[in-house]
Structures are given as C-alpha cells and as structure tokens.
Amino acid sequence: MTSNANQYTWAGRFSEPVSDLVKRYTASVDFDQRMWRQDIRGSLAHARMLARQGIISAQDLADIERGMAQVAEEIESGQLEWSIDLEDVHLNIEKRLTALVGDAGKRLHTGRSRNDQVATDIRLYLRDAIDDIQVLLKAFRSALIDLAEKEAATPMPGFTHLQVAQPVTFGHHVLAYFEMFGRDAERFADARKRVNRLPLGAAALAGTTYPIDREYVADQLGFEAVCENSLDAVSDRDFAIEFTAACALLMMHISRLSEELVMWMSPRVGFIQIADRFCTGSSIMPQKKNPDVPELARGKTGRVYGQLISLLTLMKSQPLAYNKDNQEDKEPLFDAVDTVTDTLRIFADMAGGITVRADNMQAALTQGFATATDLADYLVKKGLPFRDAHEAVGHAVKAAEFKGVDLPGLTLEEFRQFSPLIDDDVYTVLTVEGSLASRKHIGGTAPEQVRAAIARARNRL
C-alpha cells in the first residue's frame, strides 16, 4: 500500500490533506479491491456505451480497452500497488488507467458517479457469488442424495424431543436436509432476480445530462433490467440484505445438520463416523477424534446472522440517497459469501465421507419402544378407537419397561391383559422393518418410498 500526500481526485476543492487516520478510516480499498473484475467489466460496458452514443470518441474507447486490459493483467499478477490515497477500488483502477492511456482514462467517468458504479459492482459481484453458491449447493445436494441412496433402507430411531419416537430410515432423514437445502437454492435464485438490475446511469443520485443508453449497458452486463429510479438505484442495499438473509437461513440448516453430526459421532451415540480429514485430535487427550468441521460450521452460523443484522442496521433510517454508511456494506457481505462458500464446499465433500454404524442405530431402536405407535395403529385397525388404543399401549409400554424388555419382549399372554384384540400377528407389526414398510405413502419413510423420493430428487437437481 503506497501513500503520497494530496493525490486526491477531488484535490481542487480542498485546502489541506486529511490526516493518515482519517485516510485509513475512510478508505475501502483494502476490502473492496476484491471487486476489481466487476469494476473493470462495468467500466468497459460504460465506455462502450459512451462511444456508441458519441459521448467519447472511438479512439478514446480503444485506449480505454487497451489500458484496462493491462490494468487487469497488472492486478492479476499482483503488480498493481493499491493505494489508500486513492480510497477505493474504483479510483485506484481509474488512476492507473489514466497513467497508462492519458486523457481517455480521464473521460471514462463521464456521466457516471462512484455511487452508481459501486452499486453496479456489488450487484455484479453478488450475482457471480450466487452462481458459485448454486453450483456448490447442487454438489452438496447431490452428495446428500448419494448418501441417502446408500442408506435408503437403514433403520435408525427418529426422534422428537430428542426421545426415541418412531423408526425412520437414515436415507429418509438425510433427504429431509435435501429438502431444506433445496429451498435455500430457491431463495438464492429468487434473490438473484432482484440483484440482477442495473444501477449505472443513476450517476450520483439524479441521473445525468449526457444522452446515455442504460438498456445497452444492462444488456452488455447481462442485467435483466435497469433500476427504474436513480435515487433508489444508488442508495438501497436491500438486495444485499436479502442475499445475506438467504445465507443466514442456509447456515441455520447447516447448523442443524452439524448438531446432528456432532451428536451422532459422540461415542455415546455412535451412529456415524466422519472421515478423519474433517476431524482433529486433542493436544492432551490421545483418544480424541473431534468433529471440528461441523462444530465450526455451527459456530460460523452465528457469524452470518451477525452480518445480516449488520446490514439491516446499516440500512435502517438512512435518508435518500447515497450515504457513505453504505461503504460498510462490503465486509459483512463478503464475509457472508466467504463463509457460505467455504462451508458448502466442505460439506459437499464431508457428506461423501460419512459412514453409518447400522448396528448402533439398530441397538438404539430397541431401547425406546419405537414401535409403540404401530401397536396402537394395529389395535385401531382391529376396531378400537384411537384414544383407547393409545391408552392400552401406554399400559403395555409401562409393563415392558417394568419387565426390562422392548415391546416384542412381552408374551402374547401379557399383551392380552391390555387388549383381547391382540393376536400372534402383533409381532410382525412390532418389528422395525414392519413399522418402516407400512409408512408407504408419498413423503413416508418406507424404503420403497425413500427410493422413489431419491429418484424424484435426482430429477429435480
């Protein structure tokens, strides 16, 4: 980072330079330089429009295009020295361009302001980020399907209140997350529509006096439409808030999965193993293998919630139009992008590294009277009203608990004390396989339904 006194673009109006502290306080180049590709893309589209409209000459455009190609090369190779004297990514690039091509570089900013420029850059950046996230989400969801398919018929206890409730298959459980992340993908796709509008042309806030062609610029940059109102175009960051809200929801889902992975991996539960490359050991306890990745993901969820609150608070009560507050939008936004992107990349890989301990799941299933509801349904099918069946089974569970067995451990004689409707056929109903197979409607946990859901899921992906 270099620093030369009064190099400011706006030096004409000022009689003294700002202090180093103020310079550092007001500069954004340290963090907004990551938008350099979008900034150059936006500038080139703007320059082409200016030339097309006869606002700058064809020669100017040629100079700008040639200069920008070199600036891009210099940035790519790490040669360009970013300067906080030039405040942000926009002025750094413009200054370098001008050093390379002279007056044409100084004409680039005709009919434009950094206010509409930065709003355009963020939207381009976010659009790229959303497209990346969609690719990662797809890979992750595809890995979830593969895992679900492998374990489509593997019984595990389903829980409510973290108490054994009813048998489900592990594949069915995994598909629940497939659905959650599917809605997340929809949310990003929906947010993208509102990101994908062009602010350029709004200039500082009121539009510009040049005969610009905004539709042409929008077209060049792949924007679906132009922002209709110049004041709104430069000032609102609702699209960034919406994106971060989608990130927060996604991370909420990630945190739920993480919590389960951590729990399942606990030796007290022992339902799964996560591949070693996602775990770390302890510096003191040699026996430990800790699920660090899901724990960190659970922790990073709070971080993304924080970025959402930052952005909401940043925007709250801001008068129209642009205010410098908005420069503070970038760090939360970039952090949300980075966190979500890294998390999804890791989770897509980690999902493929999960191995199931079916024996432990099976053992857990024999400990919580998981087929009690099946017994009640059995009695209902024999004519007992559901509430009476519920009560009869409650007594049976109490007796089994007293005897120290699961429901199939009761003799037929013992069963009949609770209802004379119970026959020998009750024992098939009480098996985990029978319980699973009987939930055979769409959305149910029967292995055949899980396989059908997997086929549909693959189609939707």
Q: Is 19 a catalytic residue?
A: no
Which helix (DSSP H) or strand (DSSP E) does residue 136 occupy? helix 114-150
The nearest distance, CB 86 to ligand ARG, in angstroms, is: 10
| Residue 307, amino acid | Q
Nearer to ligand ARG, 88 or 184 (CB): 88
The nearest distance, CB 2 to ligand ARG, in angstroms, is: 18
Count of residues that bind ligand ARG according to CB under 6 A: 10
Among 38, 83, 98, 115, binds ligand ARG (CB under 6 A): 115
The nearest distance, CB 234 to ligand ARG, in angstroms, is: 9
Which one of the spans 4-12, 318-326, 375-383, 405-413 is the region binding ligand ARG (CB under 6 A)? 318-326
Residue 441 in the binding site for ligand ARG (CB under 6 A): no
Q: Which residues 6+ apart lie within 8 Å of 263 measured at CB?
A: 269
Q: Scanning residues 88 to 107, which ones bind ligand ARG (CB under 6 A)?
A: 88
Q: How far is residue 439's CA from residue 433's CA, in Å, rounded to a whole number?
A: 10
Angle between helices 330-351 and 292-315 (to 10 degrees): 150
Which one of the spans 73-81, 319-327, 374-382, 452-460 is the region binding ligand ARG (CB under 6 A)? 319-327
The nearest distance, CB 197 to ligand ARG, in angstroms, is: 18
| Residue 454, amino acid | I
The nearest distance, CB 99 to ligand ARG, in angstroms, is: 20
The nearest distance, CB 211 to ligand ARG, in angstroms, is: 24
The nearest distance, CB 315 to ligand ARG, in angstroms, is: 13
Residue 122 in tokens: 């963020």
Residue 28 in the binding site for ligand ARG (CB under 6 A): yes
Alpha helices in 279-322 (DSSP H): 292-315
Catalytic residue among 3, 266, 282, 395: 282
Nearer to ligand ARG, 258 or 326 (CB): 326
Q: Write down how long the chain is.
A: 461
Q: Which residues 6+ apart lie within 8 Å of 416 measured at CB?
A: 422
Nearer to ligand ARG, 8 or 216 (CB): 8
Instruction: Give the E-state strand segments of 61-170 in sequence order.
Output: 155-160, 163-169
Among 324, 402, 441, 442, binds ligand ARG (CB under 6 A): 324
The nearest distance, CB 122 to ligand ARG, in angstroms, is: 8
Q: Which residues 6+ apart lie within 8 Å of 402 measured at CB?
A: none
Q: Is 390 a catalytic residue?
A: no
Nearer to ligand ARG, 85 or 151 (CB): 85
Residue 326 in the binding site for ligand ARG (CB under 6 A): yes
Nearest Cα to Cα of residue 39 among 100, 126, 108, 118: 118
Nearer to ligand ARG, 83 or 326 (CB): 326
> CA of 44: how far to CAs of 20, 105, 197, 393, 396, in Å?
33, 11, 17, 74, 77
> Torsion angle of alpha carbons 402, 404, 407, 408, nearest 10°?
-140
Residue 114 in the binding site for ligand ARG (CB under 6 A): yes
Nearer to ligand ARG, 318 or 373 (CB): 318
DSSP for 371-432 reads THHHHHHHHHHTT--HHHHHHHHHHHHHHHHHHT--GGGS-HHHHHTT-TT--TTHHHHTSH
> CA of 218: how far to CAs of 50, 117, 315, in Å?
13, 13, 25
Which one of the spans 110-118, 219-227, 253-261, 278-286 is the region binding ligand ARG (CB under 6 A)? 110-118
Nearer to ligand ARG, 115 or 258 (CB): 115
Q: What are phi and psi of 81, to 5 degrees?
A: -95, 110
Residue 118 in the binding site for ligand ARG (CB under 6 A): yes
Which one of the spans 37-45, 113-121, 126-134, 397-405 is the region binding ligand ARG (CB under 6 A)? 113-121
DSSP 318: P
Residue 327 in the binding site for ligand ARG (CB under 6 A): yes
Catalytic residue among 161, 283, 317, 441: 161
> CA of 228: how far to CAs of 184, 199, 231, in Å?
28, 8, 9
Nearer to ligand ARG, 46 or 114 (CB): 114
Give catalytic residue positions: 161, 282
Residues forming contacts to ligand ARG in the complex (CB under 6 A) are 28, 32, 88, 114-115, 118, 322, 324, 326-327
